[in-house]
Structure 1
Amino acid sequence: MSTKRSGPTKAPAAGPKRQRKMLSIADKVKLLDMLREGKSYAAVGRHYGINESSVRSIKKEEKNIRTTAAISFNKDAKRVATVRNKTMVRMESALALWINDCRKKNIMLDTNVICTKARILYQNFADSDREEEEDAGPSTSAVHAVPSAFNASKGWFENFKKRFGLKNVSLHREMASANTAEAEAFVNNKFKAIIEEGGYKPEQVFNMDETGLFWKRMPSRTFIMQEEAKAPGFKAQKDCLTLVMCGNAAGFMIKPGLIYRSKNPRALKNKNKDDLPVYWMYNAKAWMTKALNLDWFKNCFIPEVKCYLRGKGLD
């Protein structure tokens, strides 16, 4: 009597997948230094928690690893750098050092500032490399030609941020306090009813608003290296003035009002303020006040609007 065949036995459940350990370039250099000191592959592998075969693979790439460590500014990089234009590599390393120096000095940096500095550095290094290759002879220049143009494009900047761990952070924020819902309701309902009831034309409908102009203000965001927890605070410049802008629905703008903190600034010494293209006002904080608003309305708005409407033949 034949025996029943037993079904295929199930393989035991696999355990959790082992996480691959990636050493940074700096750690790989230290590992190679330990091998140079005479330590065995097995001892070095136990020290870093990796297999002996991984240590031997790192040893085979010693030349590339040390070259990457010499030219790379990013100490936490885990990949060996591919062969790139040496002018670009030098420029990026110098640019990263410049960004770090600016952060220590609390100098705000945005994309345009960084890209402009990158173009300047690249041109300086390219000119230097070109002179060295010309001195070395024509054969060397033909092999190591230096690219003539670098535009600091958006793609380059995104890759630069990834290579050097740059991130964009906000320095300060301000919550909006305007009641936009009520403003929209007034424009769409009450204000529209007033215009229709009075039969006003677009030339007779004026709108005034004020805005602060911080003419020494720095950017509100900056770039820092990824290892930095946050950007240190800074004291923003308070030099500002207030502009009073007024125009009608037909597109006509009257003379702007300007509020400054000084009645007679040194730059306008012995100057007639009536000849300025703005209506000059002053306040210790360069802010709009009830008194200044009334002064602007009586001495600037009414004369300007009367003259304009008289020329249009309107009330």
Structure 2
Amino acid sequence: MDLPGVVGTFFAANTIKRECQLLLLLREYVTSLTMACLVEDQCHSTLCDALVQLCIEMRSLDSPPALIRTDPASGFTALCNNDLLKQHRLSVRNFLRESEHGSSKKRIDLSLADKVQLLKHLQLPGVSQASAAKKFGVSTSQVSRLVKAKQQIFDQFDTGNHNRKRQRAGKEEEVGSALFLWFQQKISQGARLSGPLLKQKATELAAAEGSEFTPSDGWLSRWKSRHNIAYKKEQGEKQNADFPAAQHWRQHIIPAILQAYNKDDIFNADETGLYYRGLPDKGHCLKGDELVGGKKAMERITTLVCANMSGTEKRPLFIIGKSRQPRCFPRDPSRLPVDYGHSKNAWMTGEWFAKWLKKWDGELRCKRRRICLLVDNCSAHPSNVALTNIELKFLPPNTTSLIQPLDMGVIKTGRVTTEAD
């Protein structure tokens, strides 16, 4: 096939796995310009969004139609007649299929995630097995087999590896199944299980069945991949949370608040620490060099974040530092884009929280507006503040990790944006 001479009309795409990350590569033929992005899986919808994103960066809006050659993976095959790609004047062809034209049709194995998407697509009105087979690039007989094993596929999707195409039984299959049951029991009890502990338990389970088995690191890695198990750092304090109190809050308190206030008038406020001099733990360097670290900068400030339930209003940040009047500040504090207070440890105090509430309460009184403010019951949040237009609602103790709205990713997103490189 002759390569075109116009830049941005012919591309090649493929996926590679590198250090537990899945990358989508897109190369332009004329200039050999190559771009990549991370993708979560090889589902056709994920690949479609990633291809559009990369092509937008590599092509101008008035570029002529472009062709993307890919391998015959199931995710790419399902994109051959994709409507979203057509809107961006893109088309996908499997080059291996073109080279094998006239030979017997190659079997396409769908990943577990693609199988689930196919089954959900069949539930749409007016979708037949034949149209679904054409959309996903498989045969109708394969679709029929998937429909018969529908419940089994959904069960595997809940606990299995979503990128797996075929379920292969590993060495000592019974030991692996018994180990997974034991693993689920221990996780439900809040246990922290390491790799050596899992291998030791596998040896004990094999001995109980009368066989000798010493699991290797490779066996453990494949076992974790089959059951979609990852080694992660614990997050938050949910293990010690009061689940019954949080459930009571959701079922009784929240409905009463929603009945009394509009979503625009329900606010949540919470504090977070910010090490403003801290450097990111990761950075760019040459592959052969070592990224040398240093002593962590421990200078911190406290930031009070406040926003309403509908997301239409955000209060100015309230910063608590150590200095009464930092040298970098203007003489007139009202010129700052944030509110500022100070304390000995740069922590929020009951006095500063009360001042912040009274200032906001005065603004609301002038607007003749009443709001409900949800806060946790820490010692820095006094309940005896005289307010006229703000109703304070305190979350139950030990429930902030479960029902604190700003702890559900809002503050984390802000911190990631602040600390991003």
Q: Shorter-chain-normalised TM-score: which range?
A: 0.3 to 0.5
Higher RCO (CA < 8 A, seq sep 6+):
1
Larger proportion of helix: 1
Q: TM-score, normalised by structure 2?
A: 0.28
Structure 1 or 2, whichever has the larger Rg, is 1
Larger proportion of strand: 2
